[in-house]
Amino acid sequence: MAQNTHIRPKYNVRGRGGGSGPPIVGRIGEKSKDFKGTLQKILCYIKPQYKGLATVFAFALLGTVFSIAAPKLIGMGVDHLFPRVDFGYIGKILLLLLVLYLLASLFSYIQEYTMAGVAQRIIQRMRNDVAEKLQHLPLQFYDTRTHGEILSRVTNDIDTISTSFQQSLLQLVTAIFTLFGVTVMMMTLSLWLSLLTFLVLPLGVGLTAFIAKKSHTFYAGQQRALGRLNGHAEEMYGGHKVVRAFHYEAASIEEFNATNQQLYAFGWKAQFVSSVIFPLFNFLGNLAFMAICIVGGFLAVTGRMTLGNIQSFITYSRQFNQPISQVANITNILQSTLAAAERVFEILEETEESPDPVAPKEIDHPKGEIVFDHIKFRYDPDQPLIEDISLSIKPGDIVAIVGPTGAGKTTLVNLLMRFYELSGGRITIDGVDITQMKRKYLHRLFGMVLQDTWLFKGTIRENILYGWGDATEEELLNAADTALANPFIRALPDGYDTVINEEANNISEGQKQLLTIARAILINPSVLILDEATSSVDTRTELLIHRAMTEVMKGRTSFVIAHRLSTIRHADRILVMNKGCLVEQGTHAELLEKEGFYARLYNSQFAT
């Protein structure tokens, strides 16, 4: 299966609002994809399980043979009730029936057990592929989709496929074998009665094809609406404090209800269209049953068929309609599976990050000399964001990046760490192009502290050691001391073994930021990136952290992104950005002397 084939669906675009990131894409206008293409991709996952599937098919065939033989034996027993009951023969028939039913049940158990393993292995591989793919997708992929939308594909859509493999595939195989076997048995009993039964088949197939085409549209819409609903719920409940603080509850509920209404509309249409199949096939089957009874009665009266054979044929005719109805219903269920699979394969076919070099380079003793050589970048090919920036930063320099919201400050840092790929130019660290290094090695050169703290459920110790589990206890304590986190950690009931809950709300925002700073210090990076790192702490703690960070930044190249310009007055160089351009650079005193953009920006923060 191709991994780098990019599918570009038609999206409706809505802005994220604020910042210079790419817009988030919606799914409202998306059309359904190619059924055959999706089916071929699913078969790529099924093929490696051919041995297990062969076992399932073999036992399904044997179980079907034994089940189909039963009505014929019952008919033979009925024929020995008249004119005189042959108890010995009927006893043998009953014993044989018991053996057949026991064998059929045993084979059914084996095929169910085997199919469970096959289905779970297929889904396990698919989940692994999606998880692996998500690790290799560029940051832009996550910037253009809500978290709930991605989670819906990874969980709901894969669960839909799992259920279909576990239940529907086995039912489909059994139904096909039953249909074939019953057809053979009916034709051996009576060709004319068989033709009456087969009259239902073309009409049933036509109805199934029509209903399947309709239901796929509804199932695809249902999966898209479910993804949007999950995305909205994740955003609203993840930021419920902001929602309540800004009285957005009514608007949030209104948006939720609108999306929920779309899900309801698609859902009930899909279920209604699916449920129509059974009544239609029952109606057609009952018509055929009436015709068989009338014609069969005539054949019995005229002596052309025995009563036992008519009894067997009637049983087979009912069995004939049942697998047709099952196939029709399963075909309809598969529409939901295909709709879910399309969304999963869209992730698997997203363009990945450019591969690491075959012969990667490493820096023996990183110093932190960074050069931006005529770099260019744009999210949209028609809308340039960063145009022709050149910089040379010496090892150990403290570089502040300032500018209004959306100026491209964070984007510049993301380009340095290769979270985004350049549209032109190059970036070097100690003379080595960053594209000639493995990303994992490149990221090890950086320690990053973001404005938005991220901690996972686990102990404080585990959160500080995140990504650097080989650190010693002494290194851990030194990092916490340097970040001024040690005093508050020691004051907690369990100290470093205190468990941070899933919401990370059992410690304050300032304390969370101190832990992320300790995490960055622990890896002993060559380059330090602070993106509004002290924005969540109080003024006194901020001053203490700045003292600690001053010590940490000694000998390290450091980038400080700041909105509060008073915090970066002592930087070796200040880069002033506006609309993706580097408009000014220099020290704090030099830029104030120029009385340009920086001076206006600085003075505006202290204007009364």
Mean pLDDT of 174-203: 81
- Specify the range with the lowest mean pLDDT, choosing from 68-72, 298-302, 428-432: 298-302
pTM over 0.75: no
Query: What pLDDT does 426 receive?
Result: 93
CB 555 within 8 A of CB 396: yes
Task: State the average pLDDT over residues 4-23.
Answer: 37
Least Cα distance to 414 among 455, 446, 436 occurs for 446
Q: Which pLDDT value is given to residue 372? A: 93
The pLDDT assigned to 246 comes to 65
Q: Flag whether 424 is in a domain.
A: yes
Residue 332, in any domain of the structure: no
Reduced to 3 states (helix: H, G, I; strand: E, B; else coil), residue 202 is helix
Q: What is the pLDDT of residues 362-376, one digit of tens each?
A: 988 888 899 999 998
Mean pLDDT of 439-456: 83
> What's residue 32's pLDDT?
42
Mean pLDDT of 132-142: 84
Mean pLDDT, range 297-305, rounded to an integer: 75
pLDDT digits (tens, 9 = 90+) for 16-58: 334 445 443 333 333 345 677 888 888 889 888 888 888 988 8
pLDDT for the residue 271: 76
Q: Mean pLDDT across the stretch 484-489?
A: 86
CB atoms near residue 546 (< 10 Å):
14
| Mean pLDDT on 249-256 | 82
Judged against a pLDDT cut of 80, whether residue 204 lies above it is answered with no
Do both 196 and 178 map to the same domain? no
Rounded to an integer, the average pLDDT of 188-207 is: 76
The domain that holds 146 is classified in CATH as: 1.20.1560.10
- Tell me: do 440 and 420 sit in the same domain: yes
Three-state secondary-structure class, residue 393: strand
For residue 14, being part of any structural domain is answered with no
Quote the number of domains for the chain. Answer: 3
Mean pLDDT taken over the chain: 79
Query: For the chain, what percent of residues have pLDDT higher than 90?
Result: 8
Same domain for 422 and 285: no
400 in a domain, yes or no? Answer: yes
pLDDT, average across residues 563-592? 85
Within-domain flag for 288: yes
Q: List the domain range (segments joined by +) for residue 144.
A: 34-189
Q: At residue 373, what are phi and psi to the nearest 5 degrees?
A: -110, 95
In this structure, is residue 132 part of a structural domain?
Answer: yes
With 70 as the cut, is the pLDDT of residue 533 above it? no
- Strand, helix or coil at 388? strand
Same domain, yes or no, for 561 and 502?
yes
Query: How many Å apart are CA 411 and CA 398, to the nearest integer?
Result: 18
pLDDT of residue 64: 84
Domain check: are 88 and 178 in the same one? Answer: yes
Instruction: Let me know whether 478 and 560 are in one domain.
Output: yes
Task: Give the CA angle between residues 563, 569, 570 to the nearest 5°.
Answer: 130
290 and 166 co-located in one domain: no
Question: Do 379 and 385 form a contact (C-beta atoms < 8 A)?
Answer: yes
Mean pLDDT, residues 59-63: 87
Average pLDDT over residues 248-268: 83
Domain final position from 259, 276, 304: 304
- How do residues 310-334 score in pLDDT, each as one tens digit? 878 888 887 777 777 777 677 767 7
Between strands 398-402 and 446-449, the pairing is: unpaired
Is the model's pLDDT at 232 over the cut of 50? yes
156 and 299 co-located in one domain: no
* Residues 184, 198 share a domain: no
Predicted confidence at residue 574, as pLDDT, reads 92
List Cα–Cα distances, 47 to 66, 120, 504, 505, 520, in angstroms: 28, 14, 44, 47, 46
pLDDT score at 188: 85
The pLDDT of residue 520? 85
| CB 165, CB 122: distance < 8 Å | yes
514 falls within a domain: yes
- Together in a domain, 174 and 296: no
- The pLDDT-based confidence of 11 (bands split at 50, 70, 90) is very low
Q: Are residues 250 and 218 in the same domain?
A: yes
405 CB-near residues (< 8 Å, 6+ apart): 18, 19
User: What per-residue confidence (pLDDT) applies to 70?
Assistant: 82
Asked whether residue 319 is domain-assigned, the answer is: no
Instruction: Using pLDDT thresholds of 50, 70 and 90, give the confidence band for residue 247.
Output: low
Domain boundary among 304, 327, 354: 304
Q: Are residues 459 and 573 in the same domain?
A: yes
- Residue that is last in its domain, among 275, 304, 333: 304
Q: Rounded to 5 degrees, what are φ and ψ at 325?
A: -65, -40
